[in-house]
Amino acid sequence: MSDTPAGPTREVHIVRVCGVDRDRIVDRAATEEPLEVRLHDRPFAVLMRTPGADRELAAGFLFAERVLKSADDLGTIEHCTDPRQQPQSSQSSRSTQSGPAVSARSAVASSNVVNVTLAHGSDDAVERLLAGRRQVTGNSSCGLCGRVTIESLKTDAAPIDAAWSLRPAVLAALPDRLRTRQTVFDETGGLHAAGLFTPDGELADIAEDVGRHNAVDKIIGRALMRDALPLSNHVLCVSGRTSYEIVQKAVLAGIPIVAAVSAPSSLAIDLAREFGVTLVGFARGDTFNIYAHDGRIAR
């Protein structure tokens, strides 16, 4: 483990093979590290993610988990400063300028823990949230692994009825516009991206992460923290395929159109059809497939 807080990429020494030639070179890899999300200082979940926008990721994750239902539910969200994360020697030492000295390794540990407090979260309410939930370790590919079911969504989200439409040429251009803004992907080739676009194709927000769903959580969490939900006048474009979890997050955030450069899963299609989401896949060049609610894509 590095002795400094991680960034989105890390140097790695590799052997590059080209025919019969081998060269030892320095490359860059996308960083993947665990983020522990605490609720009122108690462990709630561990997410595997690319460091960066951790507060937004935690907010988006808790929104999808329905711990947060609006910006009014969020009290504070901050990286952990729990002294238990610090070595004993650093707790007793003092700095004349900045208080307790904190080792670099302790800073790394704290940067991988986010603590969230609810605005109206009593001890009993937090206890019920923790008791009614299994501990989740989310890897960078599984998302919520189906924790929020279609049946539970029916009581928590209304079908999307946005009446505006998107021109086909605008939709077809979104993947390329997203790709040109993937700065970390350019360095590593190992990150997914999610982009939030306006109906005229302007990029409103972007996030990159080793997990597709994490990138979506970062965007939705950022909107939640700005009290900008629902995102009913936006299009979500994601790299890779569209899973059930991504459509579920779009439904909760009120996003009416979801587009991807690859295929959707069957459950993603079912969910989009049931909740009024226009679902587009294989958006490459000037072609794409519409799997649900084609009326929002203008003829």
Active site residues: 142
- Location of structure tokens 């979260």: 121
Residue 5, preceding peptide bond in cis (omega within 30° of 0): no
List 113's β-bridge partners, or say none: 36
Q: Closest by alpha carbon to 261, among 286, 289, 281, 231?
A: 281
How many residues in the chain?
299
Cβ atoms 110, 79 nearer than 8 A = yes
CB atoms near residue 178 (< 10 Å): 24
Sign of CA dihedral 258, 259, 260, 262: positive
Q: Closest by alpha carbon to 236, among 285, 267, 34, 245?
A: 245
Tokens for 156? 């928590």
Cβ atoms 180, 173 nearer than 8 A = no
